[in-house]
Amino acid sequence: MLYKYLRVSLFSLLCSSSLIAAEVHEFFLDNGLQLIVKEDHRAPVVVSQVWYKVGASYEMEGKTGLSHMLEHMMFKGTEKYSPGEFSRIMAANGARENAFTGSDYTAYFQTLEKSRLYLSFEMEADRMRNLVLIEEEFSKERQVVTEERRRRTDDKPINQMYEYFMATAYQTSPYQHPIIGWMSDIQNYTLADLQTWYQRWYAPNNATVVVVGDVEAQAVLALAKKYFGPLKSSKIIPPYPRPEVEQFGIKRITVELPAKVPYLIMGYKTPVLKTLSEDNHQEAYALEVLAYILDGGDSARLSKNLIRGQEIASSVSTGYDPFSPLTELFSFSGIPTNSHTVHDLENALREQIQQLQTTLVDQTELERVKTQLRASQIYELDSVFYQGMKIGILETVGLDWQLFENYLDNIKAITAEQVQSVARKYLINKNLTVAILNPITGAKK
- Interacting residues with other proteins between 186 and 215 (CB under 8 A): 214
For 78, half-sphere exposure in the C-beta direction (CA atoms, 13 angstrom radius) is 18
**Per CB under 8 A, which region of 59-67, 276-284, 332-340, 419-427 contacts other proteins?**
332-340
Residues 354-373 that bind other proteins (CB under 8 A): 364, 367-368, 371-372
* Max Cα distance, the chain (Å): 69
Q: Which of 23, 26, 61, 71 is catalytic?
A: 71
Q: Report the residue from 1, 260, 277, 279 that binds other proteins according to the rule CB under 8 A.
A: 260
Q: Are 154 and 160 in contact (CB under 8 A)?
A: yes
Our answer to whether residue 26 is catalytic in this structure is no
Closest to other proteins by CB, 101 vs 431, is 101
Closest to other proteins by CB, 256 vs 275, is 256
Q: Are 388 and 212 in contact (CB under 8 A)?
A: yes
Residues 52-91 that bind other proteins (CB under 8 A): 75, 83-84, 87-88, 91
Closest to other proteins by CB, 234 vs 380, is 380
Neighbours of 147 (CB within 10 A): 10
**Per CB under 8 A, which region of 296-304, 346-354, 390-398, 411-419 contacts other proteins?**
296-304
Residues 87-146 that bind other proteins (CB under 8 A): 87-88, 91-96, 111-114, 116, 139-146
Closest to other proteins by CB, 167 vs 307, is 307
**Residues in binding contact with other proteins, number by CB under 8 A:** 86
Question: Is 10 one of the binding residues for other proteins (CB under 8 A)?
Answer: yes
Neighbours of 336 (CB within 10 A): 24
Cα–Cα distance measured from residue 438 to residue 443, given in angstroms and rounded to the nearest whole number: 13
Residues 374-413 that bind other proteins (CB under 8 A): 374-376, 378-379, 381-384
SS3 (DSSP) at 330: strand
User: What would the x/- binding string for other proteins be over residues 302 to 331, using CB under 8 A?
Assistant: -xx--xx--x--xx----------------
Q: Which residues of 90-114 are buried (b: 16+ CB within 10 A; e: fewer)?
A: beeeebebebebbbbbbbbbbbbee
Cα–Cα distance measured from residue 393 to residue 11, given in angstroms and rounded to the nearest whole number: 17
Closest CA to 30 of 66, 2, 69: 2
Enumerate residues 6+ apart whose C-beta is below 8 A from 398: 53, 274, 325
Closest CA to 50 of 63, 29, 36: 36
Q: Report the residue from 122, 148, 193, 405 that binds other proteins according to the rule CB under 8 A.
A: 148
Closest to other proteins by CB, 31 vs 310, is 310
Question: Is 261 one of the binding residues for other proteins (CB under 8 A)?
Answer: yes
Closest to other proteins by CB, 42 vs 424, is 42
- CA torsion sign for 136, 139, 140, 142 is positive
Positions marked catalytic: 71
